[in-house]
Structure 1
Amino acid sequence: MIKEIIVVEGKDDTAAIKRAVDADTIETNGSAVGPDVLRRIKLAQERRGVIIFTDPDHAGERIRKIVAQHVQGCKHAFLPQEKAEYKGDIGIENASPESIREALANVRTEAAGAIEGEITWDDLIDAGLIVHPDAAERRLKMGKLLGIGYANGKTFYKRCISFHITKEEFLKAYQAMEVEPAGGPAGGAARKGD
């Protein structure tokens, strides 16, 4: 049994988690995370720990941010969109038990009051993760390789810091990303706005 309680969005997500692992869940019942749900999550964090495992979409990221803002020291599990999609619907409920177990095996812990990490904004620029024509696609690939999920440039940077991604981890993921067939060159002309 997984010690921590897993925060998911709804009943279908709970069912998918239970098909994959023996664990307890708290359902947010959508993106409007209410005070009662937050109190339950805080209590769960104090007593057993919490893993936030929301859908890899905009609503799931919104829930993840709300919970992480109110409950310090949460762990995070990320599932790539392609492993959570079925007939155009994206959600944990669509993932295979193997994909769920893999995401839970690669949980990242957010440090409360994280200080400046090893990764710099310039590292993201140099890796083509921001101000690059293919920045979004490159962040998607790097997020998978680092186990921190997809995010816009600013959130990606914050995740690198809060999850204490080391230069070594970052470089290893960058090299793996460069080996993969990519939708564009590694370098190229930079553009503003991403």
Structure 2
Amino acid sequence: MTKIKEVIVVEGKDDTKQIHKAVDADTYETNGSALSNGDLERLKKLQQTRGLIIFTDPDFNGERLRKMISAAVPGVKHAFIRRDQGVPTEAHGSLGVEHADPAVIKVALAHLYTQEERPSVTFTIQSLQAAGLTGNPHARSRRERLGQLLGIGYGNGKQLAHRLNMFRISPTQFTQAMSQIKQEENRQ
């Protein structure tokens, strides 16, 4: 089983259980979407000593936690699963890492992104609009698919521009992903 040196930040104990099915790693559980100043201080210390991987649920609260930690703790790494990979198999339960298959978790942890404090600006709202990712009837589904292909998660237009820049997605990577999206749309 692969050993992860960084501490993986998750939302709860069920996420930890699922992570342990995929890899050998220590986790830090936030126990929900609220973070205290004490939590942030502990996360800063862990980042300095071991490094952090933020692996929150692909939902609003998970994204909120990701942003809070990223703002307070520079240089953290990010792992993402798609929304459809975190759907519960039973009727009850919420979307989350705890429902992801161990193979999906391994892939997410093999494709980490590191956030830089001040990303260079390559992608703008205008460039996303020109690509049909905003102001278009298919914009939402295209943004969702682009996030899946690039492994950076879903975001609205403004969030997507920020993520593309933050994760240093190259124009070539972007163009290849958009070509794949257009090919998929043409097949439908």
CA distance in 1 between counterparts of 2:33 and 2:187 reads 32
| Aligned match for 1:70, one of 64, 69, 72 | 72
- 2-structure distance, mates of 1:123, 1:78: 24
What is the 5 A alignment of 1:55-66? 55-66=57-68
TM-score normalised by structure 2 residue count: 0.92
Partner SS state of residue 22, structure 1: coil
Note if contact 2:125-2:157 (Cα within 8 Å) is conserved in structure 1.
no
2:118 to 103, 113, 116: 113
**What is the percentage of aligned positions where both structures have the same residue?**
45
Quote the residue 1:155 is aligned against: 159
Amino acid corresponding to residue 76 of structure 1 in structure 2: H
State the distance in 2 between where 1:142 and 1:3 align. 29
Paired residue type of 1:145: L
Aligned to 2:81: 79
Q: Number of residues paired by the alignment?
A: 183
C-alpha distance after superposition, 1:131-178 (max 9, x if no partner): 111211111000001110001111111011111111001001111111
The Cα of 1:48 is off from its aligned counterpart by 1.3
Contact 1:137-1:183 within 8 A present in 2 as well: no
What SS does the aligned partner of 1:160 have?
helix
- Per the alignment, residue 123 of structure 1 pairs with 127
User: Partner of 2:146 in structure 1?
Assistant: 142
Q: Which runs of 5+ in 1 are unaligned?
A: 185-194
Answer whether contact 1:134 1:183 (CA < 8 A) is retained.
Answer: no
Q: Is the 8 A contact 2:10 2:27 kept in 1?
A: yes
Judging changes above 3 Å, is the alpha-carbon distance between structure 1 residues 140 and 182 closer, same or farther for their aligned structure 2 residues? farther
Give the drift of 1:115.
2.6
